[in-house]
Amino acid sequence: MNRLTKLALGTVAASSGLMVAYAPAQAALLGDTVRAEFTAAGIGTFLDETDTVVDPGTEFSLPFGSNGLELDVKNDSFDIIYDLGVTSGVGADTTWILSDLDWVDTPGIITGVTLTSGDASLISGISFTDDTITIDLLSYTVPPQAAVETWSFNIETSKETVPEPLTILGSLTAL
């Protein structure tokens, strides 16, 4: 190979390595400290806590009926679990607020929240801001033999972009 071909191949290989080294990472909640609030309409707030996201593991639990209610935050999703045991239902509309979502590896903002499983007819609202998600659930009753209800949600994010450093070639073309 001639010298120009070797130089071109070397440049392509080095550029490819840089592109892989600087590829953006997926936003992750593992290790982030988040806040959860749980309220029941007309009754009050029963949970207002912060915890560090770990997986596996449930971050937020609230005794209810013979078992309890849980909010399990994962890397880029979360589950709301109503394990009512022998209790036949939830007698009030309820709201979960998950906030202070900071994405430990790559700064970003929430751009969407999608229900991936669970009874959609029991959800009266899903809303979000840059760092907060609100899920509103309707009151319901269930036979005791079907007293566990789980809703799973994916969190879509957009990473905050960091401008590329100015290169020599870029500075010459900018002039």
Domain boundaries, given as residue ranges, for the chain? 33-154
- Confidence (pLDDT) at 167: 57
Going by pLDDT thresholds of 50, 70 and 90, the confidence category of residue 117 is very high
- Confidence (pLDDT) at 102: 84
Average model confidence (pLDDT) across the chain: 79
Q: Which of 94, 127, 93 is nearest to 112 (CA)?
A: 127
- Confidence (pLDDT) at 57: 85
List Cα–Cα distances, 142 to 9, 47, 86, 136, 172, in angstroms: 66, 23, 10, 18, 69
Residue 115 predicted with pLDDT over 80: yes
- Confidence (pLDDT) at 60: 94
- Confidence (pLDDT) at 146: 63
Share of the chain above pLDDT 90, in %: 47
Each residue of 92-102: pLDDT tens digit? 899 999 999 98
Phi, psi of 122 (to 5 degrees): -95, 0
DSSP string for residues in 51-65: EE--SSS-SEEEEET
Each residue of 6-44: pLDDT tens digit? 544 444 444 444 333 333 344 578 888 999 999 999 999
Higher local confidence (pLDDT), 69 or 146: 69
